[in-house]
A and B are shown apart, each in its own frame.
Chain A
Amino acid sequence: MSEHDFLAIAPITTVAVFSLIVMLVDALVKKNTSLMQTLSVVGLLGGIGVAIWTLPKSLNGFNGLVAGGGMTNLFDILFCSAGILTVFLAKDYLERLGGHFNEFYTLLLMATSGAMLMAHATDFITLFVGVELMSICFYVLAGFLRRQVRSNEAAIKYFLLGAFASGFLLYGMALIYGTVGGTGYADVAANAATVEMPFIFWAGVALMIVGLAFKVAAFPFHQWAPDVYEGAPTVIAGFMSTAGKAAAFSAFIIFLNSVYGSGVEGTDRVQILLAVLAVGSMFIGNVTAIAQTNVKRMLAYSSVAHAGYMLIGLAAGSPDGSFGIIYYLIAYLFMQLGAFAIVGLLENEKGCNLTFDDYKGLSKRRPGLAMVMAIFMFSLTGIPPFAGFFGKYQLFKAAIGAEMTWLAICGVVASVISVWFYLGLVIAMFFRDSEEKQAEGGTLGGLSTAALAVAVVGTLVIGFLPQAIYDLLS
């Protein structure tokens, strides 16, 4: 063990230690809510700080179990930012809906460190530990509004199906281990081309793709997503659909790079498979979203579609594709979390006020929120000059670069379909009058305002200064 080992996991350690501290504070200190929030934010900021500090290094630790520095740390920053925004949003929301338990912060930090471990993993074992750490926290968080039947249902469904998917992931790892003779990605890259029984190797790859596709909510393993996102507390749905998805994509990228890089025959089939999954996700997600009357559910389906857009980058299988995914994830973080934040703000104590009808005339009642929501919707649609446009641009460019123009065209068509419901919401907010009104959600607290402001600024900055982000990433 050396200094390198600990530097490689330093960001994870920071967040994990803080999750323990927060847990102890919860147990030992009375009247501790604001202290826990502060500590959570400090821990996540610390994670970002350490990640930035080790960003320029290229680290390998614990005999190839984890890596650090570079792209990995970018993901760390992404997860921690999502965590901070979620902490900001959580207080108002959970208190209003009567689900404010202090465990929330511990679980959120642990989920974040799990996500970070997934990004750092260069070995199946570490990957699996990360996946489970994140997922188990998510299962609990999904059921956090324990007095609501929907929330309980979401937790149980997510747990059942998630355990099912984890099983396949693990099975895939085992098969690959059996063929390449090691659990590290390095072993895959080194030995995959010369395995004695390629079909077992490919079955393993297939199962791993299935497991990860479940985590990113890609077609046809996406069906849990709408039910879970709808039932889970809205702030958690936002966190799951951004950080959770990003973590799975980080693992996806690193794993597939080792497969692509091994020179094994048949990677073209992987690319086609991913392209098909991408097309399926984009179309199923966007088309089904049209029929939704519940905004939260609509966002859930749209998150399936966004997973599809990002799968395009994986299908391209090029550095450009990976870059496009990271770029898109950053953009997606702000717009998706922002959209969920507003949905959470408008949700009332009974967990209602979520349908398109309830959003009618919002521009008159709460013009600021309606305006901000419109920005997120435009960005999610991919209308320039908002963040979403440049994210899609990078991905489609990567597809064309990989001679998969048809895939880019499918992406554009799917985006056009998505105009229907995204702008449908904008139209409802600005051009329709409400007939009867339910009790409307909460007032905009200081922290929520800050989080929304960050999300809007992020969406706009990425949109208006894509080059700056581009330079930052490269």
Chain B
Amino acid sequence: MASTLLPFILLLPFVGFLLNGLLGKKIGSEKAIGTIGTAVVALPFVFAVVLFFEMLGAPPEGRTMHVTLLSWIAAGDFSVDFAYQLDQLSMIFLLIVTGVGSLIHLYSIGYMHGDRGFFRFFSYLNLFIFMMLNLVLADNFLVTFLGWEGVGLCSFLLIGFWYDREFEGTAIKWTGDAAKKAFVMNRIGDLGMLIGMFILFSQFGTLKYAEIASGLPGSMSAEMMTIATLCLFLGACGKSAQIPLSVWLPDAMAGPTPVSALIHAATMVTAGIFLVARNAALFSMSHTTMAIVAGVAVTTALIAATVGLVQNDIKKVLAYSTVSQLGFMFVALGVGAWTAAVFHVMTHAFFKALLFLGSGSVIHGMHEEQDMQKMGGLKKYMPQTYKTYVIGSLAIAGVIPFSGFFSKDEILASAFANGNAILWGVGALAAFCTAFYIFRSVFLAFHGEERFDHTHVHPHESPATMTIPLWILAVLATVGGFLGLPIVLGEHVHVLHNWLEPVFAQASANMHGHHLSHTLEWILMGVSLSIAILGIFLAYRMYVKRPELSDRFAGSFKGLYKLLWNKWYVDEVYEEAVVKPVWKASKSVLLKGVDKGIIDGTLHGLAKLTGEASNLFRKIQTGIAQQYVLVFMIGILVVIGWLVFGGG
């Protein structure tokens, strides 16, 4: 079954990409393009569900399936196959990618209505799904890397989709610059990943996940293991926007909102989590790496959350929130709570996609206005959007019983148990900020006085193709958490944990996890719930009850406000520490010295030589047949001479 359905799951989006990309202009009709684009993602989702139930029927140890679609090339012992591995982990990602993906495709039909690049948009989106499936279904690093680069390309194309629009980002002016920034940042990460792959290949002689995991620890020294995993983590940082490679994600909001929802919230940015989770056994071998992962992650979570506090652009708020939430997931990975990370990937996919699509609905209804300062009181104009947005906000803030509560609580509890109190404390602070900034956006956009210009802007509710996906996601964001009820409620209530256990068994054995007492766990749950409620309440006080409070706050904490407003000066640090020196060095040393002097000199010299030889040879070709015969005869004499007398 798997081997028959899997090719369809993989190839359908690609077919959609080809259809829409090559024939889109000819098809013309938005309905047809949208239907094709959505169907080629929805059908794989249906197939994935079928496979899921089949997998459920199988015993836990028989749930991993390997399917080789095609042997690409074999060189000696090294072979590259399009080989795929469908197990519990990739199944979850498969369901998320195709499920959330098809909802967002559906939503895009309404959102992109009338855009002149309608078909282009859907073909890119289909290509993205294809690449993402390659990434998560791969059974070896190379195919993952193919998908990894592919989604990077799609991300680049989609961020710069409106390539001729201005976009006010950090140190950039055009959407094209934002796309470039994302691409360059990702390249740095990719380099790390490549080096990591090379190290692993040199040590294990294979790039297959299963073979590497079963070959552990191999002959690798602890230091080598740390270096390899850190390299891989660098790759993960690039894709999942962790410090220091985080700055591209907020600017990626230059793309259309469905793109932000699908690629820069629900799926692509979790590729880093996937990479670490897939190689959990490898990462668990190096405690240094694990500690670094947790440290980087919690820093990212806090910094991004604090920056989110002061943003006025509704999509920017969500972008920083995504960075921060990804930080949470990495915290979970860093303390060995693999399941919790995947759990949060799932719930985050639901509620963040919901929030993004909600914000898209707002932006759509407000005629492309993204500044929350110019919104307010939208509640009565867009009731559906409002309701679903609030559900998403409750989920991300971590209010019981919405999904975010369960996954975030599990991460924080694991951080407390396996990490230390500081990790937990910083995480909790970030969670508090989360609750505050998200409800700040709710209150600014939907409550309070109407601050927009009534003569030009007429807010309206979005069409059904947009609100239906919102409601579906809202339901998922509400109930998604019940897949991972806390262990304190019973031994087998954490469905997801039981499901994933076989995948992470090897890694968990390396981690020596601690268990918290039930009392402590109850206390932690209470604390995180009260943190969330406190954040929401404060936001309510500041933005609904007494709007003037926020300005006064900004005034009295000028330094802090400025720091946050400027995003902790990360971009400026980059500018000074990396961009400028590199520019200078490349201009003075590389361009003038190496490039123009050595390389150009040699190349031009060689080129000139070849060119002259070429002219000379051309002159030998006179066009006179007799001369050809002469050359021919000389050739014959030499050939005969060599073969007859060459032996000496």
Contacts and interface: CB of A to CB of B under 8 A. Distances in A.
A367 interface: no
Interface stretch (A27-35, A102-110, A284-292, A442-450): A284-292
B610 A206 contact: no
Interface in A266-304: 266, 269-270, 272-273, 284, 287-292
Contacts of B383: none
Contacts of B640: 202-203, 206-207
A272 B643 CA distance: 10
A221 B617 contact: no
B145 to A, nearest CB: 15
Contacts of A146: none
Given A161-B625, A223-B631, A226-B621, A291 B615 contact: yes
A62 interface: no
A420 B644 CA distance: 39
Contact of B646 (A209, A269, A290, A291): A269
A470 B623 CA distance: 41
B643 A203 contact: yes
Nearest to B81: A467
Interface string B616-648: 011011010101110110111001101111110
Which of B73, B615, B645 is the most central at the interface, judged by chain A CB atoms within 10 Å of its CB? Answer: B73
Given A269-B642, A291-B611, A420-B610, A207 B636 contact: yes
B614 A210 contact: no
A164 interface: yes
Contacts of A202: 640, 643-644
A161 B626 CA distance: 9
Contact of B623 (A164, A203, A227): A227
B643 A284 contact: no
B71 interface: yes
A397 B623 CA distance: 37
Contacts of B639: 206, 209-210, 273
Interface string A240-269: 000000000000000000000000011001
A101 interface: no
Interface string B39-71: 000000000000000000000000000000011
Interface in A131-169: 156-157, 160-161, 164-165, 168
Contacts of A224: 628
Interface string A456-468: 0000000001111
Nearest to A168: B636
B636 A210 contact: yes
A223 B621 contact: yes
A404 interface: no
B613 interface: yes
B83 to A, nearest CB: 12
Interface of A is mostly: helix
Given A161-B625, A287-B613, A465-B70, A220 B646 contact: no
A205 interface: yes
A417 interface: yes
Given A161-B628, A465-B70, A467-B74, A273 B643 contact: yes
A220 B633 CA distance: 10
A291 B632 contact: no
A207 B74 CA distance: 39
A465 B643 contact: no
A139 to B, nearest CB: 14
Contacts, number: 103
Interface in B103-139: none
A199 interface: yes
B625 A206 contact: no
A273 B645 CA distance: 13
B72 interface: yes
Range of interface residues on A (Cβ < 8 Å): 35 or more
Contacts of B643: 202-203, 205-206, 209, 266, 269-270, 273
A221 B632 contact: yes
Interface in B61-104: 70-75
B644 A291 contact: no
B72 A466 contact: yes
Nearest to A159: B625
Contact of B614 (A265, A272, A288, A465): A288
Contacts of A210: 635-636, 639
Contacts of A214: 632
B553 to A, nearest CB: 56
Given A221-B632, A467-B70, A467-B71, A287 B614 contact: yes
B23 to A, nearest CB: 13
B637 to A, nearest CB: 10
A101 to B, nearest CB: 26
Interface in A193-229: 199, 202-203, 205-207, 209-210, 214, 220-221, 223-224, 226-227
B621 A287 contact: no
B71 to A, nearest CB: 4
A466 B613 CA distance: 36
A265 B646 CA distance: 12
Interface in A417-469: 417, 420, 465-468
Contact of B634 (A160, A220, A289, A397): A220
A166 B635 CA distance: 15
Contacts of B611: 290-291
A223 B614 contact: no
A199 B641 CA distance: 10
A390 B75 CA distance: 11
Given A207-B640, A221-B635, A223-B628, A269 B647 contact: yes
Nearest to B631: A220
Nearest to A277: B639
A394 B612 CA distance: 32
B406 to A, nearest CB: 45
Contact of B625 (A157, A269, A270): A157
A359 to B, nearest CB: 19
Interface string A377-412: 000000000000010000001000000000000000
Contacts of B625: 156-157, 160-161
Contacts of A207: 636, 640
Contacts of A269: 642-643, 646-647
Q: 3 closest A-B pairs (Cβ-Cβ)?
A: A291-B614, A220-B635, A290-B614
Interface of A: 156-157, 160-161, 164-165, 168, 199, 202-203, 205-207, 209-210, 214, 220-221, 223-224, 226-227, 265-266, 269-270, 272-273, 284, 287-292, 390, 397, 417, 420, 465-468, 470-471
Interface of B: 70-75, 607, 610-611, 613-615, 617-618, 620-621, 623, 625, 627-629, 631-632, 634-636, 639-640, 642-647
Given A223-B621, A223-B628, 6 more contacts: A161-B632, A202-B644, A210-B635, A265-B647, A467-B71, A471-B71
